[in-house]
Amino acid sequence: MDKKLISGLKQEDFITTINGKQTNLYTLTNESGMEVSITNYGGALVAIMVPDKDGNMQDVIIGYSNINDYATKPSDFGASVGRYANRIKDGKITIDEVEYDLPKNNFGHCLHSGCTI
């Protein structure tokens, strides 16, 4: 990242290897100066900077400022919906006559693809 992010995040704080996979921080901006930062570790949104009513840029989501916190502190900060949305009853699904047990993370059911990040 050559330019300073409005959020104050530093890309180098998101670069590491977790479970053999490289993590990073990606930032999108638009012509209005809005900024969205996302990590490829679980697709977590880290910061969304938008102007308030007075034009001052504010972060409108809760997120950590480094990858270590995402990897070690259980939370749903910035979590995006997984491979599917909603619940799969009893955490079981059958595909081509093969039954699969899914993570039961919502009162015995599988919600939004299972465990977070």
Which residues of the chain form beta strands (DSSP E)?
A: 16-18, 21-23, 25-29, 35-39, 45-51, 57-59, 87-88, 92-95, 98-101, 110-111
pLDDT, residue 76, reads 75
Lowest mean pLDDT among 1-15, 16-30, 61-75: 1-15
Give the integer Cα–Cα distance in Å for 117 and 109: 18
Lookup: tokens for 71: 């990897």
User: Does the pLDDT of residue 23 top 80, yes or no?
Assistant: yes
pLDDT, residue 2, reads 56
Residue type, 100: Y
Q: How confident is the model at residue 4 (pLDDT cuts 50, 70, 90)?
A: confident
Report whether 43 contacts 36 (CB < 8 A).
Answer: no
| Backbone phi, psi, residue 33, to 5° | 90, 0
Q: How confident is the model at residue 1 (pLDDT cuts 50, 70, 90)?
A: very low
User: Does the pLDDT of residue 63 top 70, yes or no?
Assistant: yes
